[in-house]
Amino acid sequence: MSFAALVTGAVRALWQGASLGVQYNPVFGIGGAVVAAALLGYPRAPRERRFWAGAVIAVAWLAGDGLMILGRTREVVDGVGAFALVTPAWSAYLLVTVWAVVSLGLGYVAPALVGITVGRRVTHGTGWLAATAIAVGASLALSTLIASLGALG
């Protein structure tokens, strides 16, 4: 296999994985981001809440997108399903990995981090409320932007 074929396969897998990743489930994305932002979005949030916020985001991602991605990963391992004909075979693994990372990062983690950051800057007792509002706003803004860009192309 030539170097050009390797690069082409990698670029195609990256593009297809990112295209699938931006099609995350916004309902679970909003829910996970809001709860995580409420747990950590005030200045004196205890450190042990980081674990719970991460667990909330992980469960929301699994319920929203993760189980479907894990099912497709199993199909890639078995060599059947939608990604069975992707050549070279390693690019199917790259595609599923990029799909999972983009979905988790863009749909779940980014809105929660934005909400947490804003909530920790509030100085007068309602940081968690500001964090949840910003997390919802960021989730809706990202979903709207992605949907509008998808409608154009």
pLDDT at res. 1: 66
Say which residue, 83 or 94, is predicted with more confidence: 94
Rounded Cα distance, 108 and 121, in Å: 21
The pTM assigned to this predicted structure is 0.88
Cα-Cα-Cα-Cα dihedral sign, residues 67, 69, 75, 78: negative
Mean pLDDT calculated for residue range 76-81: 81
Question: Using an 8 Å Cβ cutoff, are 142 and 106 in contact?
Answer: yes
Nearest to 94 by CA among 17, 5, 21, 4: 17
pLDDT band at 87 (very low <50, low <70, confident <90, very high): low
Rounded Cα distance, 151 and 132, in Å: 28
Give the chain's mean pLDDT.
89
Helix, strand, coil percentages, rounded to 5, for the chain: 80, 0, 20
pLDDT band at 98 (very low <50, low <70, confident <90, very high): very high
Question: Using an 8 Å Cβ cutoff, are 96 and 76 in contact?
Answer: yes
pLDDT at res. 130: 93
Nearest to 105 by CA among 43, 38, 24: 24
pLDDT band at 151 (very low <50, low <70, confident <90, very high): low
pLDDT band at 143 (very low <50, low <70, confident <90, very high): very high
